[in-house]
Amino acid sequence: MPTRAAPPVANLNPDHFERFVDALPIPPVAKPIGDTAAGTRERMPLYRIPMRAADVKLHRDLPATRVWTYGGSVPGPTLETRAGKPIAVDWVNDLPPRHFLPIDHTLHGAEKGTAEVRGIVHLHGGRTPPESDGYPEDWYVPGKSKTYTYPNEQDAALLWYHDHSMGVNRLNIYAGLFGLHIVRDAVEEALHLPSGKYEIPLSFFDRDLRPDGQLSYPVAADPENPWVPEAFGELHLVNGKIFPYLRVEPRKYRFRLLNAANGRFYRLSTSQGVEMKQIGTDQGLLAAPVSVPYLQLAPGERADVVIDFSRHRGARVLLNSDALVLMQFRVGEQRIADPSELPSTLRALPRLAESAAMLTRRLTLDENMSGKGESQGMLLNKTPWHAPITEKPVLGTTEIWELVNLTEDVHPIHLHMVKFQILDRRPFESFQYMTQGTLRYLADASPPDANEMGWKDTARVNSSTVTRIIVPFHGYAGRYVWHCHILEHEDNEMMRPYEIVKA
């Protein structure tokens, strides 16, 4: 592992901040600027969202912090959409000419001579045609733009859009380039879940700030190779504020959670025995609510949660991640009517049978060792990004991917375009696999957690464990990517193209 350089001055730590002095911001909802011109394509609402620098207050007692945004806020404006109703977004690169975070020119796609400032937007969880998916090498420079089409032909779910530029993706997202995209449908509406001002998005991410309040991204000791294997910030933001509070009424709320951190895993819990019920996962509703005393969210994962505050009038409830405090709910005193519902069944959600798969692929997650036995990052299937495509599922077929984790880390693995189900996880003897290439299991397979039983697009793959996912490749043919969602890994070769081919 590269040695970490100490920052020249100590970064701010959480003790520096007075807690719960800022109200939780809610990202603005994006408004269309009009319709796409008829003739060229189906007519649909057109949005225009610029990527641009902005100075934002992350806490009452901080000066403004320079960030990069979509549309001026972090998270950017929320795209509110409906299943089956396409939209188009003109993503305009209006970023400044120079980057302000440490680029590593030894990384693939970020070589010296490559434009420093580049953007390309990917809709995470979107069933998107390949030409609008934000292929990492399709980045463009300030002054350029691309209009992407999102068909939204998928179930109601919380998706998110973020930068995907080759070799600088971790820096661009750290700078602030992400936002939410909500798909709604009739199935969800029929449930009468809490909605309107009782449905609140919560995006969690961690950052380091220098004493002057500016973003600090960790660097390794070698200035020619500043890449670090993970970036954990000491400060935790919810919707872009440090230690925010939210006033809630004593009734049910629906929270749409996103882990937007580069590498941090959150394990959320509430204080005072307030119950969290998870009703949905990355790709929409679960079959039934699941009570979650602790809710794990890996980078890139989402959760849909209902909290009923009705029995906690007047309480100050904390939302924690292990020992960290993230935010506070201030529950009102005044009893109020709550017409919303939390049905005990949410939707039909058949589990896919293994027999539906026509192919099983075994794919490893590897530590990339140098000749000197030092880790140089991670790989998928021991294959760097630029090698020819090896995974070519046939459109309309189903496959099982056995993800064999030979590293010591948990990696959240994400596939573009598709949704999948987790079949199981099973520990194995990794030394034997590395030396002899044979799988010796150490225990029985365990099913996914109750709150992972729905449709996913990002799954935790634990160390020395085989995680099996079953993936219907339905949607579009074309070239996509799959990768680890720890952004430092993704930027350093833990990403591969794959191609869905026509039958």
Binding residue (CB under 6 A) for ligand C2O from 181, 483, 489, 496: 483
Query: What are the tokens at 41?
Result: 């394509």
Query: x/- string (CB under 6 A) for ligand C2O, residues 410-439?
Result: ----x-x-----------------------
CA 307 to chain centre: 22
Segment interacting with Cu ion (CB under 5 A) among 82-90, 109-117, 229-237, 410-418: 410-418
In the chain, % helix, strand, coil (3-state, to 5) comes to 10, 40, 50
Cβ proximity to ligand C2O, 170 vs 277, nearer residue: 170
Segment interacting with ligand C2O (CB under 6 A) among 12-20, 234-242, 394-402, 481-489: 481-489
Q: How many CB atoms lie within 10 A of CB 277?
A: 19
Q: Give the interface size with ligand C2O as a residue count (CB under 6 A).
A: 10
- The set of residues, in sequence order, having a beta carbon less than 8 Å from that of 336 and lying 6+ positions away, is 249, 250, 251
- Three-state secondary-structure class, residue 198: helix
Are the CB atoms for 60 and 17 separated by under 8 Å? no
Shortest spacing between CB 458 and ligand C2O, in angstroms: 7
Binding residue (CB under 6 A) for ligand C2O from 59, 124, 146, 456: 124
DSSP alpha helices (H): ranges in 320-469?
A: 430-436
CA 319 to chain centre: 20
- The set of residues, in sequence order, having a beta carbon less than 8 Å from that of 48 and lying 6+ positions away, is 33, 89, 90, 92
- Contact between 489 and ligand C2O per CB under 6 A: no
Are the CB atoms for 35 and 246 separated by under 8 Å? no
Binding residue (CB under 5 A) for Cu ion from 59, 118, 124, 277: 124
Residue 487 contact, options ligand C2O, Cu ion, none, Cβ 5-8 Å cut-off depending on partner type:
none
Question: Which CA distances in Å does 339 have to 288, 428, 430?
Answer: 20, 50, 53
Are the CB atoms for 180 and 203 separated by under 8 Å? yes
Cβ proximity to ligand C2O, 260 vs 306, nearer residue: 260
Shortest spacing between CB 151 and Cu ion, in angstroms: 15
Cβ proximity to ligand C2O, 122 vs 170, nearer residue: 122
Cβ proximity to ligand C2O, 20 vs 139, nearer residue: 139
Q: Site residues for Cu ion, window 463-492 (CB under 5 A)?
A: 484, 486, 489
- Contact between 456 and ligand C2O per CB under 6 A: no
Query: What are the tokens at 306?
Result: 């209902």
Query: x/- string (CB under 6 A) for ligand C2O, residues 370-409?
Result: ----------------------------------------
Helix (H) or strand (E) holding 306: strand 302-308
Peptide bond just before 75 cis, omega within 30 deg:
yes
- Contact between 496 and Cu ion per CB under 5 A: no
Which residue's beta carbon is nearest to the bound Cu ion? 484
Are the CB atoms for 305 and 277 separated by under 8 Å? yes
- The set of residues, in sequence order, having a beta carbon less than 8 Å from that of 197 and lying 6+ positions away, is none
Shortest spacing between CB 195 and ligand C2O, in angstroms: 26
Shortest spacing between CB 500 and ligand C2O, in angstroms: 15
Segment interacting with Cu ion (CB under 5 A) among 12-20, 43-51, 170-178, 408-416: 408-416
Cβ proximity to ligand C2O, 145 vs 259, nearer residue: 259
Residues that bind ligand C2O (CB under 6 A): 122, 124, 162, 164, 300, 414, 416, 481, 483, 485
